[in-house]
Amino acid sequence: MIDLLQTHVGEILDDASKPVQKIILSGEFPWEPRLIFKKPHKITVDSVLSMDPKLGDLFGFTDEEVNKLFKTYQIERHLANFKRWHQGFMVAGRPLYRPVDVIRYTHRAMKAIPNTSVALDNDWQYWKADEVLKTLVGTLLVENHDIIESLVNGEFVTMTFNETIRTSDYAARQSVELWQWLLHKGYLTIHSKTDQHNTYRVALSNALVREVFVERLKARFSPDYPAFVNDAKAFVEAATKGNTTLLTLLLNKLFRDFIFIKEEPEKRQTYTQTQERRYWASLEALIQTAAKQIPTFRIITDDIYNLTDPIVVTVGHPTERLGIILNLQNTDTDDLESTSQTLTTALKTDPLREKLNQHRAFNHILIGVAVHENSVAVCSEKIAQP
């Protein structure tokens, strides 16, 4: 491509006998544009990183244009739903909408039956960039965990980007380069520039992009993902044996890798609330996976996703069933072992044991889990029925 442009553009600019006032090149350039030319020229390079106000309405429909379009074609009743899914992408601090999204949606809205919604096509999941997304979510590098969790929950993150991106970046699978690749593909959008050089506040482009991320993340922690199934089976085996060492390792890995997705990303919660919900949500995913993959594993708890009630399950043949009562607490103290022992002792309550007795659980394992700043400690105690 460089050779082609050097041939057709470079020669024109290098020939003083053929003065050219302006040449505009648009599209995706995986290399530095200045490599095209053999001689120095006044070259202006603008990209999605540019904060030049004059670019704020050149690459899509503005809010004003969308409002006018929906009013002109008398489809204003569909405007709120359109913006709900497509609003978010910005250029130079100004909201923009992809032309293909605007045209396709307005065309369908004009043909829609009254009092019905317009069908949405999430073509983000079909783009080649989605392969990068699968790679990023699949590897779940520790350094990317907080970034991914913040983005899918509607928050801004700070990243450093360069103007250009090499085609080799995707193959290299370096996290910084993957994020930059996703930015240039439109999955991320620049909200504002910070005071630091080449550093920006970014977010996911819109609700449709978030939907793609959420789908990939949920798949990673589901009964359809072999690695997570293996973790669930190992967890059940360790729990039935009261192997606190293995349980500690498994839960440390689970809490480190799991991405908690809020149902309402715009709803703010305190850090402690988010952490507690994250731990319980990860346990829920693990135990639900075990229940689907292990025929003898049954969940007794009515509402597993509860921040106060312990999780109660049974494992084994009906006549040799083992009851497991699991409790978890996010604590402010560094004394995790003591907290775990306190949790284990608190599980010795008649209602919980009675619930297990009703399901023919003849022996009980009490497991207390304490978490502090993503560090986990586990204590367990086995109680044989008289």
Greatest extent of the chain over all pairs of C-alpha atoms, in Å? 103
Q: Which one, of 356, 369, 330, lies nearest residue 244 by Cα?
A: 369
CATH architecture of 129-216: Orthogonal Bundle (1.10)
Structure confidence at residue 5 (pLDDT): 57
* Sheet hosting strand 94-97, strand order edge to edge: 61-62, 94-97, 90-91
Instruction: List strands edge to edge, sheet with 375-384.
Output: 297-299, 311-315, 321-330, 361-372, 375-384
What is the C-alpha separation between 247 and 197, in angstroms, rounded?
A: 44
**Cβ neighbour number for residue 66 with a 10 Å cutoff:** 23
Nearest to 347 by CA among 365, 371, 370, 320: 365
Least confident of 103-117, 124-138, 228-242: 124-138
pLDDT digits (tens, 9 = 90+) for 11-63: 666 665 666 666 666 555 555 555 555 555 566 666 777 777 777 777 789 99
Is 346 in contact with 324 (CB distance < 8 Å)? no
Tally of CA atoms within 13 A in the half-sphere of 385 that contains its CB: 14
Least Cα distance to 372 among 343, 329, 341 occurs for 329
- Provide the pLDDT confidence category of residue 218 given band limits of 50, 70 and 90: confident
The structure tokens listed for 298 are 């049954």
In the chain, what are the domain boundaries? 2-36, 53-121, 129-216, 222-384
Strand 199-204 to 157-160 pairing:
antiparallel
90 pLDDT band, cuts 50/70/90, is: confident
